[in-house]
Structure 1
Amino acid sequence: MMKRPLTLSALAMLVCASTQAATVDLRVLETTDLHSNMMDFDYYKDKPTDKFGLVRTASLIEQARQQATNAVLVDNGDIIQGSPLGDYMAAKGLKPGDVHPVYKAMNTLNYVVGNIGNHEFNYGLDYLKNAIAGAKFPYINANVIDAKTQKPLFTPYIIVDTPVKDRDGKEHTLRIGYIGFVPPQILVWDKANLQGKVTVNDITETAKRYVPEMRKQGADLVVAIPHSGLSSEPYKAMAENSVYYLSQVPGIDAIMFGHAHAVFPSKDFAAIKGADIEKAC
């Protein structure tokens, strides 16, 4: 089943003011695994489709925003590869200053942040860096490490001061932290592009390192954006699908995931301990 490219997450939290606490409802919207499908057209079958296309998802984003007092939009990667458009642009190449067509579209939707997916590495690091430079929103990833400097290749996380309104209509500023991850298996899947250039750390252990730091930096809320799936398998180091293990990390308030091209909640995840497979946000 093809993954619906829009995920909704509704959060309610208390914002402490000088004299009293207020309740703020926040909707977190996510697109993921768009795979360069900007239009609702299947170029492989040469016919329109209702299965994918950011042009269709954009209307859902607008509807979801209209339904919520406070909403933020994030993307979870696998955006520059996966369709004839992605392949065409990779073959053509991007010069400094060029804006990839996917970002010309995404830049109209007011994304807060984007995470790096595994397919972002399919065309090499130089192409990736030139591509995401065209985004009018920041990119994050915490577990890909520059092999030479031993420092994160990307910005591990950001904390965004976000204006919100509480249930009484009063305005507040919520400091929302966002942190991103990619499967360590990119070192196998894209060995030709990455060998000797980067190393990749375990997703869960990386979260355990950075989330306390984000809290110390003043994050009121921490949203994890792993390009990773949800698995019922027992934890093992360097797991590809680490969402469940991330849910056990103290300090993470919400997880927006993707990668697996599956629908959640659904009965496909009945084996996941504690998962509500019936309730949709």
Structure 2
Amino acid sequence: MIKFSATLLATLIAASVNAATVDLRIMETTDLHSNMMDFDYYKDAATEKFGLVRTATLIEQARAEVKNSVLVDNGDVIQGSPLGDYMAAKGLKEGDVHPVYKAMNTLNYAVGNLGNHEFNYGLDFLHKALAGAKFPYVNANIIDAKTGKPMFTPYLIQDTRVMDSDGQSHTLRIGYIGFVPPQIMTWDKANLNGKVTVNDITENRAQIYPGDAGERG
């Protein structure tokens, strides 16, 4: 049994109460579906319901409210509007940047996750599109059928500078990991069959031990 004196215990409690804290705001966009402008092309009319141009204003407002924040995207970016369909039909040459990423690159994303709709136009187009992103992407459960290894970066550990409540700067290690539903093998069978396999999310997650990620990150 470990015994503490009353004086030591009071000192520990006081230190805990007075300790500086770090608050971190995590912001996420999802299902942008290549809607960059606040315009509904199907109705040929402006809209207030969607558009990254509107979301960007909210992101900047949210950032200005706090000392520390990170911005992530949860996928379904390159498909879902006439812009997405047009770019898929037009194709991307080496060095081309998809309009979606021209917009997203201005917002300082920390990381992106692949959504199921990223595979609607095939793997070749997806890889060319991702090359234009100025932020990294993660996915842990899509496996290259030829190599048996993850096709994308499974996870990332990023060193992020943050400021505590006393105004002191610290480095916070933030881990990011991403998954897609295995059902993409059915939904996009024509694009994926024979090229990739997709592991069960729960089983795949259990194989990635957090302590191990810290050692390898």
Which structure has greater helix proportion? 2
- Structure 1 pair 26/211, CA: closer, same or farther in 2 (3 Å)? farther
Distance across 2 between alignment mates of 1:216 and 1:21: 28
- Describe the SS at the equivalent of 2:162: strand
1:35-78 superposed Cα distances (whole Å, 9 cap, x missing partner): 00000000001101111000000000001101111000001110
Aligned length: 199
Runs of at least 5 residues in structure 2 that lack an aligned partner in the other structure = 1-17
Task: Give the match for residue 82 of structure 1.
Answer: 80
1:138-192 superposed Cα distances (whole Å, 9 cap, x missing partner): 0110000001100000000011110001111110000111000100000000000
Alignment match of 1:124 (pick from 122, 125, 133): 122
Q: CA deviation at 1:98?
A: 0.4
Give the letter aligned to residue 96 of structure 1.
E
* Contact kept in structure 1, 2:157 and 2:214, CA below 8 Å: no
Alignment match of 2:150 (pick from 152, 170, 181): 152
Distance across 2 between alignment mates of 1:186 and 1:22: 45
Task: Give the match for residue 71 of structure 2.
Answer: 73
Task: Give the match for residue 6 of structure 1.
Answer: none
- Structure 1 pair 185/42, CA: closer, same or farther in 2 (3 Å)? same
Runs of at least 5 residues in structure 1 that lack an aligned partner in the other structure = 1-19, 219-281
Superposition pairs for residues 135-150 of structure 1, below 5 Å?
135-150=133-148
TM-score computed with the length of structure 1 as normaliser: 0.69
Task: Give the match for residue 29 of structure 1.
Answer: 27
- Describe the SS at the equivalent of 2:107: coil
Distance across 1 between alignment mates of 2:216 and 2:136: 18
1:193-220 superposed Cα distances (whole Å, 9 cap, x missing partner): 00000000111221222242224447xx
- Describe the SS at the equivalent of 1:196: coil
Distance across 2 between alignment mates of 1:179 and 1:116: 10
TM-score computed with the length of structure 2 as normaliser: 0.89
* CA RMSD, 1 decimal: 1.3
Task: Give the match for residue 213 of structure 2.
Answer: 214
Which structure has greater strand proportion? 1
Distance across 2 between alignment mates of 1:214 and 1:22: 27
